Chains A and B, each alone.
Chain A
Amino acid sequence: MARAATTSDVFNAIAEPRRRQILVLLRSGEMPVTELARELDLPQPGASKHLRVLREVGLVRERRSGKQRLYGIDARGLRSVHEWTGGFEQFWNESFDRLDAYVQELKQEREES
């Protein structure tokens, strides 16, 4: 069966565990491909291939620094993933999670006093 192109779909791109690993590594800062390959214990061409997919869907950006190319996370690319879950609603759902936890704390304090 034909597969949706990973290069055009953020969801497909992050379905691959190695690529999610790359995103986590890049959260701590920019890295050259050599360092990424070492961290992932992958041959460099393999790491490059994953980076290319992540760049094509807009999750990773590339920057030249002297002779090096540095790769960093591009949070804007996560927008479609995020929109799928709903920004405003998620904001409030998470606030309500915290409200719930906090009210439970309050309730316990009041019961104890």
Chain B
Amino acid sequence: MDSTASSSMSETAEREIVIARRIDAPRELVFEAFTEVRHLSRWWGPDGFTTTTRAFEFRVGGVWDFVMRGPDGTDYPEWISWTEIVAPERIVMLHGEHADDPDAFESVLTFEPEGEATRVEMVTVFPTAQLRDEAIEKFGAIEGGTQTLGSLAAYVERDLREGAEG
């Protein structure tokens, strides 16, 4: 966990989730992958998910209105609105299911150079601890129905193959 974030975390720790990743590419390039729908649609969501975009305008106040489809064919409406964009350092976005979603939550993405690589950190602060738990459950349900089964299957199939070979 990032030590620089820990001081402010004490107040919001119960309402936030921090996810970070080091990516071996220059910061400008990593940032760019967040700014255009042709890029976002290539990686947004877990394995096997696809996105269909209805509207996309990457600017402060702009919106990305899209549908995410899981491997089992279930559709999830998604709605992103950007509230702050500082290229190539920082993006703040509101994340909900539709415009004016009262349960929308805010994610702050920061891009920090680490030598030749980039550290991306996403801090998501939910309005309440309850909403955070609901989001965990909701995303858990999305994954629980599809991705977890996929991973389980991959695990089992590998297990079986090894068993058959060994």
Q: Does B62 contact A (CB under 8 A)?
A: no
Q: Does B59 contact A (CB under 8 A)?
A: no
B68 CB to closest chain A CB (Å) equals: 10
Residue of A17, A20, A92, A103 near B25 (CB, 8 A) is A103
A87 CB to closest chain B CB (Å) equals: 3
For B, the interface residue count at a CB cutoff of 8 angstroms equals: 44
For A, the interface residue count at a CB cutoff of 8 angstroms equals: 38
| Number of cross-chain contacts by CB at 8 Å | 127
Interface centre among A76, A102, A104 (most CB of B within 10 A): A102
- A87 near B46: Cβ-Cβ < 8 Å: no
Which residues of chain A have C-beta atoms less than 8 A from B42's C-beta? 98, 102
Q: Does A41 contact B (CB under 8 A)?
A: no
Which residues of chain A have C-beta atoms less than 8 A from B57's C-beta? none
Which residues of chain A have C-beta atoms less than 8 A from B86's C-beta? none
- A87 near B152: Cβ-Cβ < 8 Å: no
Secondary structure of the B contact surface, majority rule: helix
Which residues of chain A have C-beta atoms less than 8 A from B43's C-beta? 95, 98-99, 101-102
Q: Does A94 contact B (CB under 8 A)?
A: yes
B residues with CB within 8 A of A: 17, 19, 21, 23-26, 29-30, 32-33, 39, 42-47, 120, 122, 124, 135-149, 152-153, 155-157, 159-160, 163
